[in-house]
Structure 1
Amino acid sequence: MGQRRRRGLARRRARSRDSRGRGPRETERLRSVDHPGSRRRCCGKRRNPGRHDRAGQVGVPAAYARPHRRDRSVHQHRRRDRERHPREGVRRRLRRTVQLDVRRATGQNTIEVIEGVKQKLAGVQKILPRAATVTITKDDSRFIYASIASLEEHLLGGSLLAAVVVMFFIRNIRAMVIAALAIPASIVATFTLMRAMDFTLNSMTLLGITLAVGIVIDDAIVVLENIFRYIEEKHCTPFEAAIEGTREVTLAVMATTLSLVVIFLPVAFMTGYTRRFIYPFGWTMAFAVMVSMLVSFTLTPMLSSRFLKLSDAAADQHTKDSRFFAWMDRFYSRSLKWSLAHPAPILATAFVIFLLMFPLNQMVGRSFLPTEDMGEWTIHLDVPEGTSLEGSSQAAMGLVKELEGIEGVAQLQPTITDRPTHIHVLCWAQPIDQRKVSQDWMVKQMRDRLKAHPSWKPSITVRNPLGGGEGGGGGGGFGYPINATLLGPDLSRLFDYSLQLVAKAQRLPSLVDPKVSLNMANPEVRVDVDRRRAADLGVRMSTIGNALRLAVAGDDEISTYREGSEQYPVKIRVLESQRRDIDAIGKLTVPSAKGPVRIDNIARLERGLGPSALQRFNRQFSVGMNADLAPGHALDEGSNDVRRTIAELNLPPDITFRLTGQTKILDETTRNLMMAIGLASVFVYIVLAAQFESFVQPIIIMTVLPLSIPFALFTLWATGRTLNLWSALGVLLLLGIVKKNAILQVDYTNVLRRRGVPLHDAIIEACRTRLRPDHGRHSGRPGADRPGPWDWRCTAIGHCGHHHRRPVAVPAPHAGAGPGRVRKDRRARATGARRPRQGMAGQGLGGHVGTVAARRRVAEQVEARESALHVTRLPSLHRDPFDRMLVAQAIVHGLAILTPDPLITQYPIRVIW
């Protein structure tokens, strides 16, 4: 781009033809050619040289048209050896520049292509003249390397934060190290599967891996906490605890993992434009989750059996005896009991939260992608029609000098490519760590200064982080967010309606820089051909068009000439003074069946204004309106405003409109995501129904799914973010992880029910037992997600809000699933008449205490004021006389009671005489 090619130019009088009526194209093709002569047996072929070897020979007579009559074309041409007429220009730092654009082939790696080009440029620099230098102005690998470095930092920081949270809840260094090792083990194994699928480390796969840090540690925390609980509360050996603890949560971990995998697989098979981004993300997440389950069932139990010690869980002090855990357990126990006693307010509150999803969805704006500070944007200028290339270059350089003083701007490069009146100014900002201002601030400053040049119709487009798309325009990811296209059979009417649309769009607060894609102010000469007269003379329309293009435009190559080892094209063009004269153009002749005919004899020439280019769609004329979004406004808001504005135009039936570009992609992505969420919900229900062998319990677990969406939407609205592709994937991930604790609670409730514990007591015991791993997992996940992109962080914040609502929202519908049993258990506890089933009486944390020997041992320890730790494993029983009194009364009177102190046991003590 911007290069100057050499050519031979023959300027010709408009009336000139050779002696036989041939035009310049036919004459020069006959003259500048080497004809083969006769064939000789010993020396091969004989050649008659006739090709021009310099520009001055063009037009010199080389043959005779008639006997004794020379061709006078030498007097009809002005020959010059000059550069090709420039139609594009690139300048850098006020110097003329030749720009070379290198694009990778489909399927090739961007980094490999860029590094290969850099190696070749190092060799090219050595053979260039000293005055010529090669500079790389645009390098996409810089942003890729910066993104990878940032995501690597987030990966390491998230892993450390997750490990610190585990240390806070379990308070054991060995357990923390074991849980932290699950992260690199799962991630490294995921890399192997990604290599098998031929995935690269790009933005989507690295985001998937970074987000998976908070998920792959979940299964390891659940298994590790259960093993540690067996060692701490049941005083099992680490080897036995690893076996029994893992076996107890196997079903729950498998259910949580498989239900999460079936959410991401439908996303991986989405169709449309976003499939090339979502496909590797979905598979990466599915790989990481499946590997994390394998690690939690193999590596975590093995390390726990080897490195955890029985001395880590002292008999006189547990990790749950701290003041924080005591307050948390006491508060949660009271909230849980109140919610089970009053399920109606809980369910009503959950229903109200669910209904809030609809107004919040209207309040949160939607966009395809968030605006990221990539430090690259483009200024588009349309100078008045008729401006030459030199005039456009001067205007561009003046603008560059005006904008170079803005803080944070590193480089401005004006470029003129497709037509002389359209200017692109490529802008690069300084690295983000070397400037104090944001990209949005610099763009706003440029918009304010461009208001001084309204005749240039300026507009600015910011680079898209995922590259270009439909309707993007400009290549390389630069495009307008709003693209509205009017379609119809009449171009002039379309242009009038588009001007009305732009006039109304300029008053919309959600749009900036609206402009029409069609320019009807291009000066032109209209040639109105008399078709009947042309047909009588045997002149074709294509013949007239070719003659005008050859003589006026000077684009066609009529011959070549050789100079040394190089061959240069020869092009012909009428004199510049005659090109501006309509009468001179009309004197050009075209061949016909009856001889040469002047154009003005079969056509009428007149000056006018017309479009520089015509656009069609579905065999109809199309005129587009492009606009950018104002700061603080979402894509759906701007699109809806454009739809309402077009509706106010009252378009006739033969004129239609369509929204393309990012708006079309947004609508398509929204439909595909809704379908993926629906399929994922069905698959989750199927997996849970197969795991729990129940049709009701999966519904109980899935009741938490709609409650998570309002919290995520509220967080996006409160932080001023939009619901875009990143945040939508975060919400989808939120749907997958919020049900994990519900699965653990329901699974452990089923375990206790199989041991004979009533439903009410089993629900309380399961919720309190799974409280610590639940808080450990969900507190570690925001820590792991916090260093990621802001849209992911908003989802993590919303997840925290929903996490504190879910522990009391799940037990209420679970208890309501068996109201008869709950009421029966409640009456039995009130009267003390309910007898336990055979073999299940008095089951506590230490085992059955219903036998005579067990009752005598409890009575002896109570009378001796000794700790009942060896039987009931209650760490605080010997410290509270009121607790000993309750146990003694239970032994004497045979009552089933609940202990007032939740720290005494993990679930209610049931002592039967």
Structure 2
Amino acid sequence: NDYVTFGYGQASAQEKSQYPSQYNAVTLSIGKKKGGDAMKISELILDKIETLKRDIIPNEVHVSETRNYGATASHKVSELLSHLIIAIISVSLVVMLAMGWRGGLVVFLSVPVTFALTLFSYYIMDYTLNRITLFALVFVTGIVVDDSIIIAENMHRHFKMRRLPFKQAALYAINEVGNPTILATFTVIAAVLPMAFVSGLMGPYMSPMPIGASIAMLISLFVALTITPYLGYIFLREKNGKNKKANDKGETLEQSKIFIFYKKTIEPLLDNKLYRYTFFGINIILLLATSSMFLTKSVAVKMLPFDNKNEFQVIIDMPEGTTLERTDMVTKEIAQYIKQSTFVKNYQTYVGTSSPITFNGLVRHYDLRRGSNISDIQVNLIDKGDRKEQSHYISTVFRPEIQKIGKAFNANIKVVEVPPGPPVLSTLVAEVYGPDYKEQIKIAEQLKQTFKSTKDVVDVDWMIEDDQKEYR
């Protein structure tokens, strides 16, 4: 579910002078039902809040929107749609360079038909339009046009050759490349579709992407074998006047600029052994050099890139038995440091209880955190459009000083970012099993020290409560 949260706070003049931006507050978290539109719901809620401000909510009560995943979803969807349009136009322009505006138009018209049928299949399967399903369309944009390009290009070639009447040339062109096109499409589907059977949390999160991509490719094959030939027959035929003009000039396919350039490029490789082996050698060297980047760690290997978010969390764990007042004091100390940054729009502190559940909390169960020794701070950054720095960079800048404050009070503090993909318990997790509990603790302690001494590993914690004195 997507959530919209609001903070309601009231402060006296004395409190405001002591803590200019801190108020005693209540957080209202609103979640949508399954199938609801988070974008529309968030807009309706915000409109309702504005109405309540005019009629019911007193002026001394401050209402601020602390989190709006509906707006985030709206921004992501708009961004993906713009990228989708750019991808379609880019592919069409590339086709136009090789086949002229007519060929580009054939491919351009086949893409909306393919995507429209794909979206209809989403509706049939009860998929919503979200970042994953839309990313599937962006992902396959370059693939779904392949079938139409192959059919259109071969028709274009046979029409240029003018050896058969247009209708017979079109049928011959389709038969010539039909079977390889079908085989190529099913080969790509066979490579992508297995991702839909991934188990665990990743499965339901990622399954719409391979399923949507496979459906789009099947539909693109159908469009390439039915609609594209019709469009090609309509648009790729040259009028008699143009044919006569071309015949008068004596122009043939072999005399075209693209053919001449291709011939000059490929013939030396076919005719000269030295050129051929040199070409193969350069390609092999480039392949090995590229592969070696992973071994030498010249490039970072990640499943998903960092996402530039407008929020992060600070999770604070004091030693067991710490009073609520002391936990609150440490939390305020950290909050006072955080508020000094120009990147911070606002923040909310939750002491002794959890903040409204976040994406991370689905797996880490932050919503179950209770006790006098725990707290967390929800930090909202200024909009990413108003800053150059990425949220990941900002959180890494905050971490050293926050850790320094926590160390002074013997607190375990974690700076938690919103993940770009499915949430996990932690980046690195070690689980210790065994029949002897004391040995488990001993080994876990060694592992914890190993993590702490490892370069680039931060925020080390374990799920063991501290020893406490028992009074009788």
User: Same fold by TM (over 0.5)?
Assistant: yes
Q: Could you tell me which of 228, 237, 244 is aligned with 1:300? A: 228
Q: Structure 2: how far apart are the matches of 1:330 and 1:347?
A: 18
Q: Structure 1: how far apart are the matches of 2:6 and 2:134?
A: 38
- Indicate the residue corresponding to 1:457 in structure 2: 412
- Indicate the residue corresponding to 1:429 in structure 2: 381
Q: Which runs of 5+ in 1 are unaligned?
A: 4-90, 472-479, 527-604, 606-913
Return the offset for 1:152.
0.8
Contact conserved, 2:205 with 2:422, CA < 8 A, in 1?
A: no
Contact conserved, 1:412 with 1:426, CA < 8 A, in 2?
A: yes
Q: Could you tell me which of 127, 137, 142 is aligned with 2:66? A: 137
Q: Could you list the per-position Cα deviations for residues 257-301 of structure 1 after superposition, in whole angstroms to 9, with x for gaps in the alignment? A: 222233333332333332113321112111111111222222222
Q: Could you tell me which of 319, 331, 336 is aligned with 1:401? A: 336
Contact conserved, 2:202 with 2:422, CA < 8 A, in 1?
A: no
What is the SS of the residue equivalent to 2:251?
coil
Q: 1:445 to 1:230 in 2, by over 3 A?
A: same
Are residue 381 (structure 1) and residue 316 (structure 2) matched? Answer: yes
Are residue 446 (structure 1) and residue 401 (structure 2) matched? Answer: no
Alignment of 1:100-115 (within 5 A): 100-104=28-32, 110-111=38-39, 114=42
Return the offset for 1:446.
0.4
- Indicate the residue corresponding to 1:27 in structure 2: none
Q: 1:408 to 1:219 in 2, by over 3 A?
A: same
Q: Could you tell me which of 96, 101, 116 is aligned with 1:167? A: 96
- Aligned AA (1:404): K
Q: Could you list the per-position Cα deviations for residues 40-97 of structure 1 after superposition, in whole angstroms to 9, with x for gaps in the alignment? A: xxxxxxxxxxxxxxxxxxxxxxxxxxxxxxxxxxxxxxxxxxxxxxxxxxx9930111
TM-score (norm 1): 0.43
Q: Could you tell me which of 444, 452, 462 is aligned with 1:506? A: 452
Q: 1:119 to 1:466 in 2, by over 3 A?
A: farther
Contact conserved, 1:408 with 1:430, CA < 8 A, in 2?
A: yes
The two structures, once aligned, show a CA RMSD in angstroms of: 3.6
Q: 1:2 to 1:101 in 2, by over 3 A?
A: closer
- Indicate the residue corresponding to 1:571 in structure 2: none
Return the offset for 1:505.
2.0
Alignment of 1:345-364 (within 5 A): 362=295
TM-score (norm 2): 0.79
- Aligned AA (1:144): A
Are residue 266 (structure 1) and residue 185 (structure 2) matched? Answer: no
Q: 1:318 to 1:436 in 2, by over 3 A?
A: farther
Contact conserved, 2:196 with 2:203, CA < 8 A, in 1?
A: yes
Return the offset for 1:209.
0.3
Q: Could you list the per-position Cα deviations for residues 643-668 of structure 1 after superposition, in whole angstroms to 9, with x for gaps in the alignment? A: xxxxxxxxxxxxxxxxxxxxxxxxxx
Q: Could you list the per-position Cα deviations for residues 144-191 of structure 1 after superposition, in whole angstroms to 9, with x for gaps in the alignment? A: 111111111111111111111111112x22222112111111111111
- Larger helix percent: 2
Contact conserved, 2:161 with 2:253, CA < 8 A, in 1?
A: no
Q: 1:192 to 1:106 in 2, by over 3 A?
A: closer
What is the SS of the residue equivalent to 2:199?
coil
- Aligned AA (1:157): I
Alignment of 1:582-621 (within 5 A): 605=472
- Indicate the residue corresponding to 1:800 in structure 2: none
What is the SS of the residue equivalent to 1:98?
strand
- Aligned AA (2:456): S
Q: Could you tell me which of 256, 260, 263 is aligned with 1:326? A: 260
Return the offset for 1:406.
2.4
Q: Structure 2: how far apart are the matches of 1:405 and 1:319?
A: 69
Q: 1:257 to 1:384 in 2, by over 3 A?
A: closer
Q: Structure 1: how far apart are the matches of 2:383 and 2:163?
A: 57
Alignment of 1:169-208 (within 5 A): 169-170=98-99, 172-208=100-136
Q: Structure 2: how far apart are the matches of 1:106 and 1:509?
A: 43
Contact conserved, 1:408 with 1:436, CA < 8 A, in 2?
A: no
- Indicate the residue corresponding to 1:155 in structure 2: 84
Q: Structure 1: how far apart are the matches of 2:395 and 2:156?
A: 56
Q: Structure 2: how far apart are the matches of 1:151 and 1:106?
A: 22
What is the SS of the residue equivalent to 2:151?
helix
Q: Structure 2: how far apart are the matches of 1:369 and 1:173?
A: 37
- Indicate the residue corresponding to 1:525 in structure 2: 470
Contact conserved, 2:159 with 2:169, CA < 8 A, in 1?
A: yes
Contact conserved, 1:92 with 1:412, CA < 8 A, in 2?
A: no
Q: 1:519 to 1:178 in 2, by over 3 A?
A: same
Q: Could you list the per-position Cα deviations for residues 440-488 of structure 1 after superposition, in whole angstroms to 9, with x for gaps in the alignment? A: 221121023224322333221211133534x2xxxxxxxx312223345
What is the SS of the residue equivalent to 2:74?
helix
What is the SS of the residue equivalent to 2:312?
strand
Q: Structure 1: how far apart are the matches of 2:187 and 2:267?
A: 29
Percent identity of paired positions between Structure 1 and Structure 2: 20
- Aligned AA (2:78): A
Q: Structure 2: how far apart are the matches of 1:108 and 1:167?
A: 42
- Indicate the residue corresponding to 1:99 in structure 2: 27
- Indicate the residue corresponding to 2:171 in structure 1: 243
Q: 1:240 to 1:92 in 2, by over 3 A?
A: farther
- Aligned AA (1:246): I
Contact conserved, 2:269 with 2:276, CA < 8 A, in 1?
A: no
Contact conserved, 1:407 with 1:437, CA < 8 A, in 2?
A: no
Are residue 281 (structure 1) and residue 236 (structure 2) matched? Answer: no
- Aligned AA (1:143): T
Q: 1:333 to 1:342 in 2, by over 3 A?
A: closer
Q: Structure 2: how far apart are the matches of 1:208 and 1:2?
A: 33
Count, aligned residues: 429
- Aligned AA (2:348): Q
Q: Structure 2: how far apart are the matches of 1:268 and 1:285?
A: 11
Q: Structure 2: how far apart are the matches of 1:354 and 1:402?
A: 49
Give 1 or 2 for the bigger CA radius of gyration: 1
Q: Could you list the per-position Cα deviations for residues 371-424 of structure 1 after superposition, in whole angstroms to 9, with x for gaps in the alignment? A: 211232211223455543333333322322222232422222222212222221
Q: Structure 1: how far apart are the matches of 2:231 and 2:6?
A: 65
Q: 1:350 to 1:265 in 2, by over 3 A?
A: same
Higher relative contact order (CA 8 A, sep 6+): 1
Q: Structure 1: how far apart are the matches of 2:165 and 2:268?
A: 33
Are residue 392 (structure 1) and residue 327 (structure 2) matched? Answer: yes
